Amino acid sequence: MKDIATFIGYALIALLAFRFYSEWEKKGGGISLSQADCEVIAVETIQDTYIVNDNFDFGYTVLAKIRNVGHHGTMTIKAMLSTSEGNYERSQQLVFNPLQETVLRYQFAEPTINATGIQGRILCTP
């Protein structure tokens, strides 16, 4: 009888731990092992033209100057463009050395030349 009670006790603990972990993951929990620390130095949004499928196309480019003020590690950089025609995102993970600085270009060919309220943003996380 004692073995059954012990088994049920351990099963309940495991169930509670699993429930806690799954809720934590849903809320964006997760442990970042990267020791990088991202700093956005400058962001600029410009009108641009691209060649898409051998044709010229109009769009916008979000330029970002990023610096790692931490140790060597991986950073996730997300570029966002908001317009009257919709919101668009680009994302990538890059490895940075300590104090490394770089300029990144994110191209958005989706908006038309008639789009208004153009705003570019950069979000970076280790």
CA-to-CA distance for 33 and 23, rounded, in angstroms?
20
What tens digit of pLDDT does each residue of 8-26 get? 777 778 777 777 666 655 5
pLDDT of 29 higher than 60 = no
pTM value > 0.75: no
Q: Are residues 63 and 105 in contact, defined by beta-carbon separation less than 8 angstroms?
A: yes
Instruction: Look up the CATH number of domain 38-125.
Output: 2.60.40.10
Task: Return the percentage of the chain with pLDDT > 90, whole number.
Answer: 56
Mean per-residue pLDDT, 70-82: 94
pLDDT of 64 higher than 70 = yes
